[in-house]
A and B are shown apart, each in its own frame.
Chain A
Amino acid sequence: MEKFGFSISKGRQIDWDSNDRRIADYIREREPSFKSCIACGGCSATCTTGNFTHFSLRELNILLHRGENTKPGNDIRKCMLCGKCSLVCPRGVNTRNVVFLAKQAFKKFDGHAD
């Protein structure tokens, strides 16, 4: 059969009802300040890793809360745990602990992130 190069694209929609939010819940239980994020992006702006690679704690927070875990699972290993993000956070989120817990949760539920 002639191949025309067409394929079915994967939907971009976030499907709240079928997504798995166990990783976000795991972090929220152990580090309640994770709930207080207002997505200002201060953490990402100050992030050394984020300046050189695609890593954003703001994005990680949003995506984990939506149960979109694949990208954060790949990105999180880039964090060097310097903690600069926690110095700028206006809501006092313990961002370093969030990253620690996310790594744990990924190991527990998803198999990513080491």
Chain B
Amino acid sequence: MDKHIVVIGGGVAGMEAAGQLADAGFNVSLIEKGNVTGGHLNDWYKLFPDRRSSSDVKKYLDKKVASKAVRIMTNTCIEKLYHNKNNIALLTQEGVEMTADAVVVATGFDLFKSSRKEEYGYGIYDNVITSADLESMFRKGKISLTNGKSPKTVGIVHCVGSRDEKVGNFYCSKLCCVTAVKQAIEIREHLPESKVFCFYMDMRMGGAHYEELYREAQEAYGVNFIRGKVSEASESINNKLVIKVEDTLAGRPLKIELDMLVLMAGMEMSEGGGRIAGASKLLTGENRFFAPEDHHYANNISNIKGVFYAGTCTAPMNITETISHARSAVSEVISYLKKPKG
């Protein structure tokens, strides 16, 4: 078989798909816009729910694509793809044209830009950070305020950029709740003297071992969970962050002073994915993610023949789901290429 498959995106979905396609005997070009493959895994420290190192999964994926049949092309950006006779033509940003027998789009997600929720003060107050910023502190092994001191009280705001009509995102990003619980535990481990508060609308613990982690956070780590969406953060005269929230279980407004506020940024369709969708007339949903042909039984299939989706470019997914989705995309590619063309 000398069929050539192009995989767009070198994150978890793209790497898994590329590796599986190589195993199935295809020649694969794995296209990554950045310098390195691995996607968001490179920014994360430990993974929920078991808090294993993200580099474990990265190593697995690196091994997966370490095949002669996979050509990794970094710093390459696809602008557009279209059906051309029996092939798919792809155009890079530099204007180079490539041809493929099939394409797997694995353009992933971008984290919601938290500065858009101005009321939470990201980019305004010193010690308001995002979940991704906190991960990079974990990687450095030090959680500190801008003055170098350790925070004694840390608040975590769920649903930043998710379930929020005001930023145009109606959907639930689904992974931020469990990320908040994981990070709350990690803060308590790094700073045993600290107090951690999670401000949530609903605790959406719908994944294997998520609820158990939530319970562990309550029982073993004494994390405080307060139901209510934070309305605003401001700064007090002594440089603390003042948080206002309706404690919906007490039925009363609550005010608390904190040293640090962590915003659980949601997931959005990636900028690159959005550009390809627009230029190539690939259908997107109301949530701006790629809209597969059918959400139940054809969620790898696009509206262009020979173009398939893998991973979070179609909806928020965790790593387990992303890997499964990438594998099912590969199975769709194989069936597609087996069919006689015409």
Residues of A within 8 A of B (CB): 12-17, 28, 32-33, 35-36, 38-39, 58-59, 62-63, 65-66, 68, 91
Contacts and interface: CB of A to CB of B under 8 A. Distances in A.
A13 B203 contact: no
B221 to A, nearest CB: 9
A107 B247 CA distance: 27
Contacts of B249: 39, 58, 62
B250 A16 contact: no
B227 interface: yes
A91 to B, nearest CB: 7
Contacts of A59: 250
A32 B250 contact: no
Contacts of B254: 13-16, 66
A43 to B, nearest CB: 13
Contacts of A66: 247, 250, 254
Nearest to B254: A14
Contacts of B215: 36, 91
B218 A13 contact: no
Contact of B252 (A12, A33, A39, A91): A12
A13 B224 contact: no
A36 B308 CA distance: 44
A38 B203 contact: yes
B204 to A, nearest CB: 13
Most buried by B among A16, A17, A32, A68: A16
Query: Size class of B's contact patch?
Result: 10 to 19
Interface of B: 203, 215, 218-219, 222, 224, 227, 247, 249-250, 252-257
A28 to B, nearest CB: 8
B218 A14 contact: no
Which 6 residue pairs across A and B have the least CB separation, nearest first? A16-B256, A14-B254, A62-B249, A13-B253, A35-B218, A39-B249
Contacts of A65: 224
B227 A39 contact: yes
Contacts of A58: 249
A14 B227 contact: no
A12 to B, nearest CB: 5
A28 B223 CA distance: 12
Contacts of B227: 39
A15 B215 CA distance: 26
